[in-house]
Structure 1
């Protein structure tokens, strides 16, 4: 007779765990529906709820990363993809997580980090041609980046040198201008103002066109390269 309470307790515990598992899966499905509707903020909420019910659910980790990435929350997305990649045991799913890390790093011109992520993805899924293409592209871009100075400290040193040259040039121009007769001073000032306005307008138009191209290219890359949900 004493065995029945123990069996009943064990049965209740099993049912509780089953209900919890069903609950986080239901939340993921709800998030997936919202994601397909491009309602990424609400999808994010559902995936976070699923992780609250089951913090070890790698599907919720990965899908949360996708929702964050679709909202341009790239740093937070990388965290979720890394957690999914480390916790996931299925090589194919692990590869998808690292592929998306590579995509984010590539978009931010962090080519060395992107290369490492793509290599990890290929270790788990050697047949992924898209990842292999992205890896080759980043390797070429990194080579060009290093050839052109590589950013970072090199660019800072170059900027300092340019600033010094500009200051010296400005001092020389000021000295020459002070030596001019007062009658001749208004004309150079007026020319300088007109030129500055023309340069500013041209720069603004060029910047606007560049931003539009970058935005369009980023949207195309995200839609083409982002590995979809599990």
Structure 2
């Protein structure tokens, strides 16, 4: 009888444990739908404390973090997803790609979109975002090449400003010397520099 009660208590504990994680996920989803992403994040974290391998809680945590513009943490959450469920894995790669795009990390974004498409080649949004990221990367490369060719041999804006100030100072010094050489007065009828 004692063994039976112990087994019953053990089974009840496991059921309560699983139910509590599911309860936190459900509460998190409610907060998420109400656009209370910080509260949703807290609930998903609580679910993960109880069940660290809960794929749904991990994925939802990434989404809540992304909505709060915590892109780096969102990417970490997506990367931590360990599942054989291809749709979740593809969605995690896609969302990581979006997070990288928001951080202007185009190479990483492109890699994530490609990973999503390897898992789910029919993902139209991943394909479109990949094309946009590739196009933006190409434009950046062209702009960089253009700046390097037309920037006075790679002169930075600060260097150009400094050279201009130096030239202006030399011109003032030259004018001052010329005026001193003529008795401190500019000749009548001459124009100022």
User: Do they fold alike, i.e. is TM over 0.5?
Assistant: yes
Aligned match of 1:26: 23
| Residue number in structure 2 paired with 1:118 | 113
Change (3 A) 1:159 1:30: farther
Q: Which residue of 2 aligns with 1:73?
A: 70
Shift in Å, 1:180: 4.2
Higher helix share: 1
Determine the C-alpha separation between the residues in 2 that align with 1:159 and 1:25: 58
Bigger radius of gyration among the two:
2
Match of 1:101 in 2: 96
Distance 2:10 2:115 in 1: 39
The corresponding residue for 1:169 is: 164
Question: Equivalents in 1 of 2:130, 2:111: separation in Å?
Answer: 9
Q: Which residue of 2 aligns with 1:145?
A: 140
Shift of 1:160: 5.8
Higher relative contact order (CA closer than 8 Å, sequence separation 6+): 1
Query: What are the equivalent positions in structure 2 for 1:208-219 lying under 5 Å apart?
Result: none
**Contact between 2:71 and 2:103, CA under 8 Å: does it hold in 1?**
no
Taking structure 1 as reference, are residues 160 and 20 closer, same or farther at Cα in structure 2, changes over 3 Å only?
Answer: farther
Structure 2 gaps of 5+ residues are 146-152, 180-193
Aligned equivalents of 1:119 and 1:104: distance in 2?
14
Shift of 1:10: 3.1
| Structure 1 unmatched runs, 5+ | 151-157, 183-230
Residues 164, 41 of structure 1: alpha-carbon distance in 2 compared, 3 angstrom cutoff: same
CA RMSD of aligned residues (A): 2.1
